[in-house]
């Protein structure tokens, strides 16, 4: 098919859009969103453009979005809006240019309500996953006659050899049962109103995974994995990854029924997470809290941009 009209022309916006689309594919394949400021730096470093205000990159990003929309009509199959991975550094959300796609999602759910901030964030996170999981980006570039995705500068990471984990293989301890009961009876521990209905213990997901405690508060599902004082470091690490799994499975349940995927997952522990575990939790956006049952006090761990179910 010919290059979509919004990517044609010699003016700045379509010219830079033709350069940016392969770059966005590189970010999508790396499962990384990119800020307007990063696009500006990338463009200057690669000598694609002179300096313009970063916010101006919403115009080529919009041109890419409309090009994909036209290509969907020709291909007769959905293509996720890759321009949605271009985000504002302060909010972590894309600009209003992707609101069209949010409205499309709302039509699919049958909702006519205005999106709250937290609903907006939940939908954007789902769109990002669709963009990252899409396997046809290189076919799209080839169809448009554009260049291959350029290499990204990768952050330096000290690779560690894989190791065997020593998880606790014992039956559920009394300490674990006690902590689970306490959390289920006290929703305030996970930032829910005290009047919230008590949590359901041992909630079984369609995947047969079992959540220690599940709270349902309005449109929100809140999964809680608990680790008592006798949990070793590998058990704590497993709890972090369990939260990632539960959060995604709960969101998947909502997507299946056409509901806005509002779900959280938290790790509640009776001892502090090791510093390396805290870094991993922060990377994976997993909230965690330490609960001291002897004094009934809590300490909050990661909670950056974590939506609280207030809507």
Residue with tokens 């609101």: 99
Q: Is 202 left (phi over 0), alpha (psi -120 to 50) or beta?
A: left
CATH number at residue 262: 3.40.1350.10
Contact between 250 and 263 under an 8 Å Cβ cutoff? The reply is: yes
Same domain for 107 and 237, yes or no, is no
List for the chain the helix, strand, coil content (%; round to 5): 45, 15, 40
Which is it for strands 297-300 and 287-292: parallel, antiparallel or unpaired?
A: antiparallel
Same domain for 37 and 127, yes or no, is yes
Look at residue 310 in the predicted model and tell me its pLDDT. Answer: 46
pLDDT tens digits, one per residue of 255-310: 888 787 889 999 999 999 999 999 999 988 899 999 988 776 566 664 433 344 44
Contact between 127 and 81 under an 8 Å Cβ cutoff? The reply is: yes
Assess if residue 23 is contained within a domain.
Answer: yes
Same domain for 209 and 260, yes or no, is yes
What count of other Cβ atoms lies within 10 Å of the Cβ of residue 113?
Answer: 9
CA distances from 210 to 166, 245, 269, 288 (A): 21, 11, 18, 19
Same domain for 15 and 76, yes or no, is yes
Phi first, then psi, for residue 157 (nearest 5°) are -130, 130
Assess if residue 286 is contained within a domain.
Answer: yes
Domain of 72 in residue numbering reads as 5-144
Same domain for 181 and 287, yes or no, is yes
| Nearest Cα residue to 84 out of 72, 71, 97 | 97
CA 10 – CA 174 distance, rounded (Å): 70
Q: Give the chain's length.
A: 311
Same domain for 180 and 273, yes or no, is yes
Q: Spell out the SS3 assignment of 15-64.
A: HHHHHHHHHHHHHHHCCCCEEHHHHHHHHHHCCCCCCCCHHHHHHHHHHH
If you ran DSSP here, which 8-state letter would residue 194 be given? T
Look at residue 164 in the predicted model and tell me its pLDDT. Answer: 61
Write down the pTM of the prediction.
0.68
Same domain for 9 and 120, yes or no, is yes
| Nearest Cα residue to 125 out of 241, 23, 260 | 260
Assess if residue 24 is contained within a domain.
Answer: yes
Same domain for 247 and 288, yes or no, is yes
pLDDT tens digits, one per residue of 141-156: 999 999 999 988 755 4
Q: Which of 106, 129, 144 is the last residue of a domain?
A: 144
Q: What sign for the dihedral angle of Cα 129, 86, 106, 65?
A: negative
Q: How far is CA 186 from the centre of its chain?
A: 27
Q: Spell out the SS3 assignment of 226-250.
A: EECCCCCHHHHHHHHHHHHHHHHHH
Same domain for 137 and 186, yes or no, is no
Same domain for 252 and 185, yes or no, is yes
Assess if residue 115 is contained within a domain.
Answer: yes
> How many structural domains comprise the chain?
2
Assess if residue 159 is contained within a domain.
Answer: no
Assess if residue 93 is contained within a domain.
Answer: yes
Same domain for 284 and 240, yes or no, is yes
pLDDT in single tens digits along all 311 residues of the chain: 789 999 999 999 999 999 999 999 999 998 889 999 999 999 999 999 999 999 999 999 999 999 998 998 899 988 888 999 999 888 887 876 666 655 655 555 555 556 677 777 888 888 898 899 898 999 999 999 999 999 887 554 454 555 665 656 555 788 899 999 999 999 999 989 988 899 999 999 999 999 999 999 888 899 999 999 889 999 999 999 999 999 999 999 988 887 878 899 999 999 999 999 999 999 888 999 999 887 765 666 644 333 444 44
Look at residue 155 in the predicted model and tell me its pLDDT. Answer: 54
CA 68 – CA 143 distance, rounded (Å): 12
CB burial of residue 262 (10 Å; 0-12, 13-18, 19+): buried
CA 291 – CA 299 distance, rounded (Å): 7
Which is it for strands 220-227 and 263-269: parallel, antiparallel or unpaired?
A: parallel
Assess if residue 56 is contained within a domain.
Answer: yes
Same domain for 39 and 83, yes or no, is yes
Consecutive H or E run containing 264: strand 263-269
């Amino acid at each position: 098919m010919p290059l979509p009209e919004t990517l044609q022309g010699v003016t700045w916006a379509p010219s830079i859009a033709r350069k940016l689309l392969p770059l966005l594919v590189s970010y999508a394949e790396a499962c990384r969103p990119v800020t307007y400021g990063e696009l500006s730096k990338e463009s200057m470093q690669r000598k694609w453009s002179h300096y313009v205000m970063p916010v101006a990159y919403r115009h080529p990003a919009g041109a890419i979005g409309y090009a994909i929309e036209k290509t969907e009509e020709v291909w007769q199959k959905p293509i996720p809006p890759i321009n949605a991975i271009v985000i504002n550094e302060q909010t972590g959300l894309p600009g209003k240019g992707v609101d069209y796609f949010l409205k499309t999602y709302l039509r699919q759910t049958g909702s006519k309500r205005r999106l709250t901030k937290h609903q907006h964030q939940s939908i954007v996170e789902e769109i990002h996953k669709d963009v990252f999981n899409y396997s046809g980006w290189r076919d799209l570039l080839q169809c448009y006659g554009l260049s291959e995705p350029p290499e990204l500068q990768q952050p330096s990471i000290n690779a560690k050899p894989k190791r065997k984990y020593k998880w606790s293989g014992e039956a559920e301890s009394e300490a674990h049962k006690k902590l689970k009961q306490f959390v289920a009876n006290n929703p305030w521990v996970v930032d829910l109103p005290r009047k919230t209905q008590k949590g359901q213990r041992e909630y079984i997901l369609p995947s047969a995974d079992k959540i220690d405690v599940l709270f349902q508060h309005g449109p929100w599902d809140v999964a809680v994995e608990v680790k008592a004082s006798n949990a070793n470091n590998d058990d704590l690490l497993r709890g972090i990854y369990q939260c990632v799994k539960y959060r995604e499975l709960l969101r998947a349940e909502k997507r299946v029924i056409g509901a806005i995927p509002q779900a959280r997952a938290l790790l509640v522990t009776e001892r502090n997470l090791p510093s390396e575990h805290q870094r991993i939790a922060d990377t994976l956006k997993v909230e965690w809290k330490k609960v001291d049952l002897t004094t009934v006090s809590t300490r909050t761990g990661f909670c950056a941009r974590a939506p609280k179910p207030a809507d």
